[in-house]
Structure 1
Amino acid sequence: MTVELRGLTWDHPRGYRPLEAFEAAGGADGVRVRWDRQPLSGFESEPLDRLAEKYDLLVIDHPGLGAAIAAEAVLAVDDVFGAEDLDVWRSRAMPPTWASYRIDDRNWALPLDAATQTCLVRPDLLTGPPPATWTDVLGLSGIVLCVAGPHAGLSLLGMAGDRTHTTLLDRGRAVTAIEVLRDVWRRSDRSAAALDPIAIHELLAASNDLTCCPLVYSYAYYGTAADDRRALGWAAAPRLLATDGPGLGTLGGTGLAVTHRAYDRVLAVTKYARGLLDTRTQLDVVSPVGGQSASAAVWESDAVDNAWNGHYSATRDTLAASYIRPRFDGWIAFQDELSERVRELLGNDDDAGLAVDRIEADYRARGPAASKVG
């Protein structure tokens, strides 16, 4: 007898093609998952507890984890899967992805997709190498910044987030980052101001004038050319300071979460997860259709890297050094407000230090200490 589960993922090909390809390849023996799709924004607009009533599996991102836990929409994966399975999956995942779904010594999702902010370029239009520093960015023409939605704030976090998580921002870095972003914004093509990362990739792939978006979530899917677009390339996120190591960005990606609805079908969920997260599945089924796996084996594969125009080797170090966002219940709202503040700062001459201090004060008032989910 076949057990049928229902799942919800996001509606970009990177979000649904790997899951559909796994099902088409036979999936997990005796288990079928019917995957529905919705925009990434839909996971924030519809309450997670309501989604959890309709779906057994949810593809979520780590910043929304606190809200999911507070709503009791997802189960700790420690309560679903055996320790041996969890140890295997942890050992196979790119390190920051596993850590991003761990709160209060419990694991709440299995890393499925991995992404970070990197430097996106049109290799055929650049006259030299991709910019290694933000000073190099200022020397380019045809620049766009990704500032729509949460992305202005996420750029500031990538450049200046406190990776010890003692505070939200490293104050000195944040002041420098705001000043640099202002300079880049003055040279940027403003027509892209309302575009999300997917639209930024599509814009650069189709344009003959735009050469670089210095900090944007990468989509390996655009490493191949099509009739209506050129192949894109990537590089490490630009260094803010000369002393910086690999470029710094903010972690993205998604994880596979299990809802209470699936609790009485744990064996089926386990069988499905084992099949989907198997290394051969990730290399031979997920990667060829444009999935951006969280599996370290994919990020280290020369064959996968070559198939997607060097995306993985170009961005692997940035991914490994990525900033993991706060995940308390209420973070998403704060993240949106942070981005709005950064957009305002790009267009004015307000004192950057005072602005950073105000952001930090609001974060202390509303952050993890004020939430029951840190």
Structure 2
Amino acid sequence: MTVELRGLTWDHPRGYRPLEAFEAAGGAPGVRVHWDRQPLSGFESTPLAKLAERYDLLIVDHPGLGAAIEAAAVLPVEDVFGARDLSRWRAASIPPTWESYRLHGFGWALPLDAAAQVCLLRPDLLRGAPPTTWSEVLQLADRAGIVLCVARPHAGLALLAMAGDRSHRTLLIRDRAARALDLLRAVWRRSDQRAAALDPIEIHELLAASNDLVCCPLVFSYAAYGRSTDGRQPLGWAPAPRLTGSDRHGGSTLGGTGLAVTPRAYDRVLSVTTYVRALLDLTTQAGIVSSVGGQSATAAVWQSAEVDADWNGHYSATRATVESAYVRPRFDGWIAFQDELSERVREFLRSDADPETTVAGLEADYRARVPDALEVG
């Protein structure tokens, strides 16, 4: 007897190909999951409680956890899986993906896909080494074509990458944030602003097809663009630029997705466990997920020279950035604030506003949204 489950993932090949390839390869014994797809925007426009009524498994991102928990749309992983499995999966995950799905003392999803903002390049067009600091990005912008990823939430995420307070007690580290805004505006004024409305996937497409653009200094990476296909040139990556030369790592915000279990599946947790054990097995992650362009959250995949070579050095170039990435707050209401933050940053880029005044305003708005007693994660 085969147990049938339903899952919902995002409708980009990185979101559905690994899951479909796993099923096509035989999947988990005695369990089949039918995966539906919807745009990322659909996870915001459709109430999570409604999705949880229709699906057993949801692919989620960590900034939306607060809303998912508030809607009772996902179960704590401790209520579904055994301690031994959880310990093994935690040890196998690339930092900080596991912790990004923990809130209020529980885990709410298992890391499945890992990504962070890094420096995206056209290696065949770039003259010299990739920029390692934002001052070097500014110098590059004076002599070559670059773009910034500032559409939708990404303008705000760039600021958080460069100057976010990792304790979440405040939104920003003020002196760093003022410097970051100043540099972002200077780079913006030198960038190709026709890319202003493009998301990370479209930025990758643009650079792969262009003969004029050499760099996007901070954008969520897609390893699949390391191969030349359909007339596209292969892209390369480098660590996220540092705000100052003394910073240990480049500033980046964590992305990726996790696998969450809904209350609808509670009476089939044994089947869910069987499925997840097979899906998160290293053989699956390295041999199936990576082969179709998935970006596994399994650390061993990021350490694999074979996988790295398959995707033009994506993993070795970006691993340190992922491991040191900023994890966003996850309280209910964060997504709406994140959108407002990005709009404010875009307004700043187009203006002559004072960066310190802008930072003070952003901080005040954040504090108004986050009561002192609230655990923001």
TM class by shorter chain equals: over 0.9
Contact 2:123/2:236, CA 8 A, preserved across alignment:
yes
Tell me what 1:6 maps to.
Answer: 6
Q: Distance in 1 between matches of 2:4 and 2:288?
A: 21
Tell me what 1:96 maps to.
Answer: 96
Q: Distance in 2 between matches of 1:113 and 1:25?
A: 19
Tell me what 1:68 maps to.
Answer: 68
Tell me what 2:259 maps to.
Answer: 256
Q: CA deviation at 1:213?
A: 0.3
Contact 1:329/1:372, CA 8 A, preserved across alignment:
no
- TM-score normalised by length of structure 2: 0.98
Aligned Cα root-mean-square deviation (Å):
1.0
Contact 2:104/2:375, CA 8 A, preserved across alignment:
no
Q: Distance in 1 between matches of 2:182 and 2:95?
A: 32
Q: Deviations over 1:245-285 (max 9, x none)?
A: 12120000000000000000000000000000001110001
- TM-score normalised by length of structure 1: 0.99
Compared CA separation, residues 331 and 271, structure 1 to 2 (3 A) = same
Tell me what 1:25 maps to.
Answer: 25
Q: 2:174 aligns with which of 163, 167, 171?
A: 171
SS at match of 2:19: helix
Q: Distance in 2 between matches of 1:35 and 1:268?
A: 16
Contact 1:117/1:217, CA 8 A, preserved across alignment:
yes
Contact 1:70/1:373, CA 8 A, preserved across alignment:
no
Compared CA separation, residues 120 and 373, structure 1 to 2 (3 A) = closer
Q: CA deviation at 1:117?
A: 0.3
Q: Distance in 2 between matches of 1:253 and 1:318?
A: 13
Q: Which residues of structure 1 form unaligned runs of 5+?
A: none
* Paired AA for residue 37 in structure 1: R
Q: Distance in 1 between matches of 2:7 and 2:274?
A: 15
Tell me what 2:199 maps to.
Answer: 196
Tell me what 1:205 maps to.
Answer: 208
Q: Which residues of structure 2 form unaligned runs of 5+?
A: none
SS at match of 1:139: helix
Q: Deviations over 1:131-151 (max 9, x none)?
A: 111111112211100000000
Q: CA deviation at 1:178?
A: 0.1
Q: Distance in 1 between matches of 2:294 and 2:301?
A: 10
Tell me what 1:311 maps to.
Answer: 314
Compared CA separation, residues 369 and 49, structure 1 to 2 (3 A) = farther
Compared CA separation, residues 85 and 263, structure 1 to 2 (3 A) = same
Contact 1:331/1:367, CA 8 A, preserved across alignment:
no
More divergent stretch after superposition (361-370 vs 82-91) = 361-370
Tell me what 1:328 maps to.
Answer: 331
* Paired AA for residue 186 in structure 1: R
Aligned residues: 374
Residue 135 (str. 1) matches residue 135 (str. 2): yes
Q: CA deviation at 1:370?
A: 6.9
Contact 1:246/1:321, CA 8 A, preserved across alignment:
yes
Contact 2:168/2:376, CA 8 A, preserved across alignment:
no
Q: Distance in 1 between matches of 2:314 and 2:117?
A: 12
Compared CA separation, residues 368 and 322, structure 1 to 2 (3 A) = farther
Q: Distance in 1 between matches of 2:371 and 2:62?
A: 15
* Paired AA for residue 341 in structure 2: L
Q: Distance in 1 between matches of 2:209 and 2:3?
A: 44
Tell me what 2:368 maps to.
Answer: 365
Q: CA deviation at 1:228?
A: 2.1
Q: Distance in 2 between matches of 1:210 and 1:350?
A: 28
Q: CA deviation at 1:227?
A: 2.5
Q: Deviations over 1:131-182 (max 9, x none)?
A: 1111111122111000000000000000000122221101011000000000
Contact 2:96/2:325, CA 8 A, preserved across alignment:
yes
Identical residues among aligned pairs (%): 72
Tell me what 1:147 maps to.
Answer: 150
